[in-house]
A and B are shown apart, each in its own frame.
Chain A
Amino acid sequence: MIHNFNYHRATTVQESLSLLEKFKEDYKIICGGQSLLILMRQGLVAPENLVDIKSVKEMSYIDYDPKKGLKIGAATTHREIEKSPEIKKNYPVLVEMEENLASVQTRNWGTIGGNLAHGDPASDPAPILIAMTATVKLANTNGERSLLLEDFFVDIFETALEEGELLIEIQVPVPLKKSAVAYEKFNIIKNHQGIVSVAASITMAEDGIGCKDARIVLGAAAATPLRAGEAEQMLIGKKIDTKLLASVGKKASEECDPVSDIHATETYRRALVKALTIKIMKKAWEQAKTSGRVGGKHT
């Protein structure tokens, strides 16, 4: 049963921020509400004030600039991202991720900002955006600040958003040459939340042989989306081969900190991290060698 609340609809960012400022003590922000409403129906979340930002048009946009990169308004729906020709062309792996996120119905109404602000360690877009070095823009009535997305996630269902603060934009840099991002979510029922997920980016050195930079980001493998830093380090400056990837996968599985639940034990999650990391790194590596774009060829 949904408990009583006071409903406030904002139509501009400014109006949203004023409302947040006003209800500092007790509010929840709703946009698509695809996660929030479930919690509210279970009575787990019962805010005094519900601030609705779904109608804030100025927060719903997809901007791509070949020099500055990609900007996505936080109130942009998953479906808009999935269907964006710009994103499909320049960041195809984002489209791939979206296509496997929940259901069409959820993507039609749910938003990218809502997903990230929910702080779920099993978030679909988080690992891949972190792998792409995405930043988020947060605002309150006093101004704006930018944060690397990897620093946005603090703990399970907890983010860096402070009281009165709103996530307004997600920024993804221009893909580097000789780089690629790949992603896979493991689940039993397609489009269900991942039991674990792995996103990886690789940037090859000028010579096309050595690895210049690498990012490995794990979903549902710790309290937050997690960068497997030690595993990444094993790659940098090295020539990649399958043997190295095997030890990188092993390292990632040691670095993560997954839970045991009804869907998988901790041991199994670690095994999955290992298997997926090897597979995804290999995919990213192969694409990076041949492509100048993030995600390489859309597979």
Chain B
Amino acid sequence: MKKHTYTVINTPIHNIDGIAKITGRAEYTFDITLPRMLHGKILRSPYPHGEIIHIDTSKAERLKGVKAVLTGKDTLGRKQGIWRRFKELCDEEILARDKVRYIGEPVATVAAVDEDTAEEALDLIEVEYNALPGAFEPLEAIKEGAPQLHEHAERNINVTRHIEWGDVDEGFKKADYVREDWFRCSSQAHVCMETHCAVADYTPEGKLTVYTSTQSHYYIKVLLAEILGLRENDVRVISRYTGGGFGSKFELDSAQFCCSILSMKLCQPVKIVLTREEEFSATKRRTPMFYYIRSGVKKDGAFLAKEARVFTEGGAYTAMGATALYLTGFFQSFPYVWPSYRYDGYRVYTNTAPTSAMRGFGAPQATFCAETQIDLIADELGIDPIDIRRKNAMYPGYEVPGQATIQSCGLGQCLDKIDDWIKSRGKLPPNRGIGVSAYGFMSGGIFNWFDTPYAFSSAVLQINIDGKVDLFVGSQDMGQGSNTTMAMICAEELGVKVEDIRLHMGDTETCPVDLGAWGSRETLMQGNAVKMAASKAKQQILEFATAKLAPNIVYDLDIKDGWIHLIARPERGLSFYDVVKEAIRGKDGQPIIARGHYTPHRKGMISPAYSFGVQAIEADVNPDTGKITLKNCVTAHDCGQVINPLGVEGQLEGAIAMAAGYGFTEDLPMDEGKILNPNLVDYMLLRATEMPETKVMEVETYEPEGPFGAKEAGEGLTNPTAGALGNAVFHATGISIKNLPITPEKVLNALKEKKNK
């Protein structure tokens, strides 16, 4: 691996939005107030399945302070969805007209002078429903004769996916040991601290401006234009600060849609902020999955064949669930070499809140099941958990047949580091165990179901007379720190300081298109676009500098830290700032402008690059209560070249908290489609007191496809934790829980069962 020396990359840089955030000055959508602004609320279905017979809004309209009450009848009646290339997958109206399919589905919306009046008006809207029997569990809903949600989907089958390579049947024949298991992976709520919210401002000129908390202003702009019948560029979406996303904020949501139609009706700004309860019960969530896995291996632990079938609880609409269905199937084989693999996935419509994208996007579920089973296999064969993983680990240059090519891959080194750490722990006290899980993830998706005609990422850069660089990006910072990452990539490539960059983002009117902050895209894709723009701008400056310095033609020039110089003779150079001044004068007073873009071509089916890692969790299990206490969480992680160590560390630790929650405390239990814990009292998020000691060991690789060799560094870390936790419980007690979350009650029951055997 070539060693690179950088001036900006790989130094811990303060988040460029930091001062705004720590002084309370960062203005989130939640904080926006416009002149004459009204407040909106949404009436939601109390039924999981039913026909809307009649809606009477007259009483609500008569309430003092109410400005408008709208229902599905007041919309164009267009169905929308983010899988725009497939019409039947665009199945959600947002404001239901004829039928409701989940508890919480919007049926009417109100604008009033204040929130209390709007809320009061909701109580005055009379909706007559004809309740229908519901289908709630995917394994039930898929049966012949189950209540059907959508006319087009027989047996409620929404999407199916098949992945296959190698000769699976032959592989099983050769296997010395075959094991099959069923798993149930639970749901999870994103719980962004800023709930979904939007302020829409429609003016008589026919222009709609929407301020919103989102992960993709571009998607929201396009989806809004389509459903509202507006031209794409008559819609402007602004999103400067987003209070968390985690996959919940790149589809069109009810706040954005409802305040837009209200504002269009009234020509007045309307704000809608979802309550925490609405956020829990009526926004999208992680996909619950029922997994069947059968694996065949040799006596020595070599993997031969794997067969996986999954039934996912889709909820009422497609949302991003179709992507999760593909990714869970692909990552079920990860990060190992399986000579043969067969996957069949079924996404099933159910009368529950739609399931969709959430950090990890189907991979945490797959990884939990796969890694749990691998430990059971290793245990059965008497092989060390690290050894069995090492034996079958992916490696640089490996091709996943028909799917992907792995370029950089530090999985082997990660396994070594974790192995060393485990050994350093020595003999553990009773009822304590260490579990490991290996994982990998994509660095941005290649798929284009959205059908964008634009490059996946674009950047525009302008260098001004004082050397200050205006960088326009389409990427969305929702807290993951992409603004800082982009400023760093730009500064490094251009040879200036991070302070020289003035970053512009979060506004469709001024920023170029980027598909948004999901699927771990930004560092690699937006990063490449920024790097290209910076590189082109640099080229222009170097042309002027060359004329000035007149070096021998064999010499190359570069810029580092604001100093333009001959690479071979660094002392011979010029100030970047002086050259910029003259260059602009020489361009007839025009600032230096450059564009960059990135779209993956011929990079397989999934992603241009993959991150890898191994995590170990040390946990105690109380044999009397079943309670699990996390002690240590150690991760060896390969995210290519680290751009901002401060950012990477934060991403990794944050992922651990969220993923550990998925593993043992978070769940969305339901009764006939009703979520039973839609609040932060009953939905159990880890707090500071539950966090284990965390340690991160970077394994640096160089990813040829990434900017400066970088790849994904935050989402993939959501994948291993549930599996590592489950395996820690297994090694502490000998019981293996295959049903998430691993609650103390489940552990205690399993311990009792084991004792009774």
Contact = CB atoms under 8 A, between A and B. Distances in A.
**A and B in direct contact, judged by CB atoms within 8 A:** yes
Given A262-B676, A262-B682, A275-B624, A189 B745 contact: no
Interface band, chain B: 20 to 34
Interface stretch (B215-223, B240-248, B402-410, B684-692): B684-692
21 contacts: A1-B119, A1-B120, A186-B625, A186-B627, A188-B664, A188-B665, A189-B665, A189-B686, A189-B687, A189-B690, A190-B690, A192-B681, A192-B684, A193-B681, A262-B677, A265-B745, A268-B748, A272-B625, A276-B625, A278-B624, A279-B624
With a 10 A CB-CB cut-off, give which of B119, B625, B676, B687 has the most chain A CB atoms: B625
Interface in B656-686: 664-665, 669, 676-677, 681-682, 684-686
Interface in A258-299: 262-265, 268, 271-272, 275-276, 278-279
Contacts of B689: 189-191
Contact of B669 (A262, A271, A276, A279): A262
Nearest to A189: B684
B744 interface: yes
Nearest to A278: B624
User: 3 smallest A-B Cβ distances: which pairs?
Assistant: A275-B624, A190-B689, A268-B745
Contact of B745 (A190, A193, A264, A275): A264
Contact of A263 (B682, B748, B749): B682
Contacts of A264: 745
B687 A190 contact: yes
A272 B625 CA distance: 6
Contacts of B119: 1
Contacts of A192: 681, 684
Interface in B101-136: 115-116, 119-120
A267 to B, nearest CB: 8
A118 to B, nearest CB: 14
A278 B622 CA distance: 14
Contacts of B749: 268
A264 B667 CA distance: 13
> Size band of the A side of the interface?
10 to 19
B744 A188 contact: yes
Interface string B682-716: 10111101100000000000000000000000000
Interface in A129-177: none
Contacts of A186: 625, 627
A146 B748 CA distance: 43
A72 B98 CA distance: 60
Contacts of A268: 744-745, 748-749
Contacts of B116: 1
Contacts of B120: 1
Interface string A179-220: 000000010111111000000000000000000000000000
A186 B628 CA distance: 12
A193 B696 CA distance: 33
Contacts of A188: 627, 664-665, 684, 743-744
A271 B748 contact: yes
- Name the prevailing secondary structure of the B interface residues: loop
A275 B625 contact: yes
A273 B664 CA distance: 21
A266 B664 CA distance: 20
Which of B119, B664, B665, B748: most chain A Cβ within 10 A?
B748
A264 B627 CA distance: 12
Nearest to A43: B119
Contacts of B676: 262
Contacts of B665: 188-189
A272 B624 CA distance: 8
A279 B627 CA distance: 15
Contacts of B682: 262-263
A265 B746 CA distance: 11
Given A268-B749, A272-B625, 16 more contacts: A1-B120, A186-B625, A186-B627, A188-B664, A188-B684, A188-B744, A189-B685, A191-B687, A192-B681, A262-B669, A262-B676, A262-B682, A263-B682, A268-B744, A268-B748, A278-B624
Contacts of B681: 192-193
B112 to A, nearest CB: 12
A186 B120 CA distance: 40
A143 B392 CA distance: 80
Between A192, A193, A276, A278, the greatest number of chain B beta carbons within 10 A of the residue's beta carbon is seen for A192
A193 B669 CA distance: 19
A24 to B, nearest CB: 29
Interface string A99-132: 0000000000000000000000000000000000
B39 to A, nearest CB: 12
Contacts of A190: 687, 689-690
A188 to B, nearest CB: 6
B250 to A, nearest CB: 29
Candidate in A188, A190, A192, A279 with the most chain B CB atoms within 10 angstroms: A188
Contacts of B625: 186, 271-272, 275-276
Contacts of B743: 188
Nearest to A272: B625
A272 B747 CA distance: 13
Contacts of A271: 625, 748
A192 B690 CA distance: 12
A132 B53 CA distance: 61
Contacts of A262: 669, 676-677, 682
Interface in B282-330: none
A195 to B, nearest CB: 9
Contacts of A272: 625
A186 B677 CA distance: 19
A264 to B, nearest CB: 6
Nearest to B749: A268
Nearest to A190: B689
Contacts of A263: 682
Nearest to B118: A1
B115 to A, nearest CB: 8
Nearest to A279: B624
Interface string A244-270: 000000000000000000111100100
A282 to B, nearest CB: 12
Contacts of A278: 624
Contacts of A279: 624
Interface in B408-433: none
Contacts of B115: 1
A189 B683 CA distance: 10
Nearest to A276: B625
B66 to A, nearest CB: 15
Interface in B230-245: none
Interface in B590-638: 624-625, 627
Nearest to A193: B681
A265 B748 CA distance: 12
B422 to A, nearest CB: 26
A245 B534 CA distance: 74
A186 B745 CA distance: 12
B659 to A, nearest CB: 16
Contacts of B687: 189-191
Contacts of B744: 188, 268
A117 B729 CA distance: 41
A189 B741 CA distance: 14
Contacts of A193: 681
A114 B682 CA distance: 22
Nearest to A4: B116
Contacts of B686: 189
A193 B684 CA distance: 11
A191 B685 CA distance: 12
A188 B689 CA distance: 11
Q: Which residue among B665, B744, B748 has the maximum number of chain A CB atoms within 10 Å of its CB?
A: B744
Contacts of B684: 188-189, 192
A276 B685 CA distance: 24
A48 B110 CA distance: 28
A265 B626 CA distance: 14
B251 to A, nearest CB: 28
Contacts of A265: 745
